[in-house]
A = this chain, B = another copy of it.
């Protein structure tokens, strides 16, 4: 399996869990510690800690240590890789998807913002 394929596998695997998707959604509202991420869920802290590790392995989360807290921040690259991967299906997603197609073209030209 190529490197990109392994990365995609890790990303899709990470996104296949609803708790992990909820953690990502939470992080769009700003950084959070593992404890803060755990709060809305009815599972133990170790369980959340493992979810965070899976998200980290996929590159979807970046952790920085501050004292005994580990602040988690969202990383967009893996999501962009999914958009790129979806490019091969644009004709199946309808003509409106041309806008996404255009976005992908820009990406390849290095016009990433």
Residue ranges of A at the interface with B (Cβ–Cβ < 8 Å): 1, 5, 8-9, 12-13, 15-18, 21, 24-25, 28, 74, 76, 79-80, 82-83, 86, 88-89, 91-97, 99-100, 102-103, 106-107, 111-113
Contact = CB atoms under 8 A, between A and B. Distances in A.
Interface of A is mostly: helix
How many copies of the polypeptide does the oligomer hold?
2
A73 to B, nearest CB: 10
A93 B106 contact: no
9 contacts: A8-B21, A9-B16, A25-B88, A28-B91, A74-B89, A79-B89, A96-B103, A99-B99, A99-B102
Given A28-B92, A96-B112, A106-B96, A12 B9 contact: no
